[in-house]
Amino acid sequence: MAKVAIAVGAAVAGAVISVATGGLGLFAVGAWVPDIIAGASAGLAVGSVIGAAAFPGRNPVRYPLQDLQVSSSADGAPIPFGYNLVRFGGQIIWAIPLTFVSKEEESTGPSSGNSSSIYAYYATFAVAFGEGPGIIHKIYGDSKVIYKNNAVPGNAIPLGETPTWDASVNYDTDDMVVYMTPTSYGLEPLVYQARLPNIDKPPVGNSLYWELDSQYGAWFSSTTYQPGAMVDVNGQIYAAVSVSLGDYPPTSPALWQPLADYYAAPTIYPGDELQEPDPIIQGNEGVALTPAFRGLIYAVWEKLPLANFGNRIPNIRAEVEFTKTNNLL
């Protein structure tokens, strides 16, 4: 605002000076209008220069990304460490080009008899999560849980048989249960996720503590499912590995897989000083060129299906429990 005021003031001054020096008479305004405009323009230019010098503008400051919830692959990134349980994004430290498989699918309906190619893409890569040693509780691909540590209590998520809600169980945030819910089709076993720790709070009627996990809908025989589609059948989550028509239920192993098999667990390295090089990386890079990454918590996936992530490597985040006791020394 100060710069604008100086410029306007200088423009007015330039106009007045042009009038004074030109001997403007009371009845000669029309003849001197060009001189007034020229004087105002000159004054505006001078005022703008003075205002810019007196009040220099601020250059926008652009900071690098600091959100630890976003995974990265930047060179030279620091190795994070933490205390107790922390959730943050990983650092992709190795990857090979995406691979794919194709399958011919016959069309149905009016174009029956024709076929088209269906492509499924996979990623093989390694992600580091911090200075070890540590224990990985869960790993998320974007917003989907793709790994859980079954040895960690209170870590129930639908990667296998989802437990039925039990009033005597103390549930933690993100735990998932099956609850028989009244719907327009009758009682259905729907999957709910805990929003807050709770006990003796049934999912229906307690939206403060539970939310319906609509990501896993019930299977319907009238629906055609694409690769990567997920359905709930009595608490068991299945993922389609190929185009599945309604007459092929999720129990058909050729077209469906339980989610625990669809998102196969990665190879986890706890970041101790005894861990050996990963054989998957060795098979691609060579034995002599593969470090053991000792002291680094990391995970290696081989052919992670990408159908639910836009055929790209998702944002990888993990809940890591750091077990090192001498970080303060």
Q: Are residues 198 and 148 in the same domain?
A: yes
* Burial status of residue 270 (CB atoms within 10 A of its CB: 0-12, 13-18, 19 or more): middle
Residues 209 and 138 in one domain: yes
Q: What does the pLDDT read at residue 63?
A: 42
Q: Are residues 201 and 242 in the same domain?
A: yes
User: 164 and 235 share a domain?
Assistant: yes
Instruction: Write b or e for each residue in 215-230: b if 16 or more Cβ atoms lie within 10 A of its Cβ, otherwise e.
Output: ebbebeeeeebebbbb
Q: How confident is the model at residue 240 (pLDDT cuts 50, 70, 90)?
A: confident
| CA angle 104–239–228, rounded 5-degree value | 55
Verify that 118 and 47 share a domain, yes or no: no
Same domain, 44 and 105: no
Residue 255, pLDDT above cutoff 50: yes
Residue 196 has pLDDT above 80, yes or no: yes
132 compared with 75, residue with greater pLDDT: 132
Is 309 inside a domain boundary? yes
Predicted pLDDT at 125: 97
Task: Identify whether residues 29 and 100 lie together within a single domain.
Answer: no
Asked if the structure places residue 59 within a domain, the reply is no
- Give yes or no: residues 187 and 266 share one domain: yes
Q: What is the dihedral of CA 96, 271, 315, 98, to 10 degrees?
A: 10
Q: Please indicate, yes or no, whether residues 143 and 216 belong to a single structural domain of this protein.
A: yes
Question: Residue 270: pLDDT above 90?
Answer: yes
Mean pLDDT of the chain: 76
pLDDT at 52 over 90: no
Total domain count, the chain: 2
* pLDDT recorded at residue 276: 96
Residue 311, in any domain of the structure = yes
Instruction: Give which of 93, 95, 86, 87 is closest to 72, Cα–Cα.
Output: 93
Whether residue 72 lies inside any domain: the answer is no
In terms of residue numbers, what domain contains 132? 84-322
Is residue 9 located within the same domain as residue 146?
A: no
pLDDT of residue 321: 92
Q: Are residues 166 and 304 in the same domain?
A: yes
**In which band, very low, low, confident or very high, does the pLDDT at 23 lie, cut at 50, 70 and 90?**
very low
Q: What is the pLDDT of residue 65?
A: 42
Least confident of 112-121, 133-142, 167-176, 307-316: 112-121
Q: What is the DSSP string of 279-316?
A: HHHHHHH-GGG----TTEEEEEEEEEE-GGGTSSPPPE
Average the pLDDT over 49-66 and give the result: 52
Mean pLDDT of the 184-212 span: 84
